[in-house]
Amino acid sequence: MIGYVPGTSPLHRAHPYTTLALAGAVLLGAFALTRPLEVWLLVAAAAAFAAAGGVLRSSARTALLLSLPIWALLFVLHGLLGADPRTTVGPLSLSLPGMARALVLGGRITAIVLGFLTALATTSPHRLVEAMTARGVPFGRTFLLASTLTVLPRMRERAAQILEAQQCRGLRLGGSVLARLRALGPLALPLVLGALAEVDEQVLALDARGAASAARRTALDPPPDSRAQRLVRVALLVLVVAAYGWKFWKMRG
C-alpha cells in the first residue's frame, strides 16, 4: 500500500520535516555509498526507520514488490551479462564484479523506496501543509502540493470519459502504431483543451479566497517541533556531507 497510514508511532508524532529529512538522508546517502556491505547497512537503517514508524510490514512488502523487477533486471544485466572474472553456480555462469554491482544498485534502490514509503506512510499530508504554513512557506507552494493531488482523480475520470465517448463515436484504439498514434489527438486534445478552458474560472475562485494576498497565514494546528528534532535534522545533514566527503576522499586515494 502506498500512502498515509494513520498511527501513533514516534514517526507519526514527529514534525513532518524530521520524517522527510530522514527519507532525504537515505536518498542522498544511497548514492554516496559504493560497497555492497555499506549499501545493505543503509537498507537495514531504512528498515529500522520503517519499524520505528510501525509500518515495517506494509512498507517492506510494497518496497519488495516494487524492487523485485529491478533486481531481476539487475541480475540479468550485470550478473549474467557482466564482465569477467566469472563463477559457476549450478547451470549459471555469473560475473563476480557484475554481481557486486547488482548488489550495490539493488540495495540502493531498495533503501530509497523503503525510506520514502515509510515517510509517506507516517507523514499526514494535512500536518505537512500545516507545518509549511507555520514556517511561512508561501501559499502558492502549499496550494500546488495539496491541490494537485485532489485534481488528479478528476482529470483521470475525465480521461476515461473521453476514451469511452470517442470509442462510441467509432474511434478505434487498435491497429498499426501509426493508426494508434492518429488516435492520440482525438483523445488527448479534448482533455487538455477542456482543462485550459477552466483556468480562468479557477484563477477567479482562488482570487476570491484571498490566495493572491502576500500576508503570512496562520496555521490552525501546527505540528510541534523540538530542539531534539532540529538536532536530528542537523545531524542527518552532517552525516550526508560526511558520507560524500568519505566517498570523494576514497576516490582520490
Binding site for other proteins (CB under 8 A): 2, 27, 31, 62-63, 66, 69-70, 73-74, 76-78, 81, 101-102, 105, 108-109, 112-113, 115-117, 120, 140, 143-145, 147-149, 151-152, 155-156, 159-160, 163, 173, 177, 180-181, 183-185, 187-189, 191-193, 195-197, 199-200, 202-203, 206-207, 211-212
Considering the complex, state which of residue 27 and residue 232 has its C-beta at the smaller distance from other proteins.
Answer: 27
Considering the complex, state which of residue 227 and residue 252 has its C-beta at the smaller distance from other proteins.
Answer: 252
Q: What are the E-state strand segments in the chain?
A: 86-89, 92-95
* Separation CA 201–CA 188 (nearest Å): 21
Considering the complex, state which of residue 146 and residue 239 has its C-beta at the smaller distance from other proteins.
Answer: 146
CA nearest to 63, candidates 99, 111, 3: 111
Q: How far is the CB of 188 from other proteins (least distance, A)?
A: 6
Helix (H, G, I), strand (E, B) or coil at 175: coil
Q: How far is the CB of 70 from other proteins (least distance, A)?
A: 5
Q: Which residues, listed in sequence order, are joined to residue 86 by a DSSP beta bridge?
A: 95
Considering the complex, state which of residue 18 and residue 71 has its C-beta at the smaller distance from other proteins.
Answer: 71
Burial of 183 (0-12, 13-18, 19+ CB in 10 A): middle
* Separation CA 172–CA 80 (nearest Å): 42
Evaluate whether 132 touches 156 at the Cβ level (below 8 Å): no
Q: How far is the CB of 226 from other proteins (least distance, A)?
A: 27
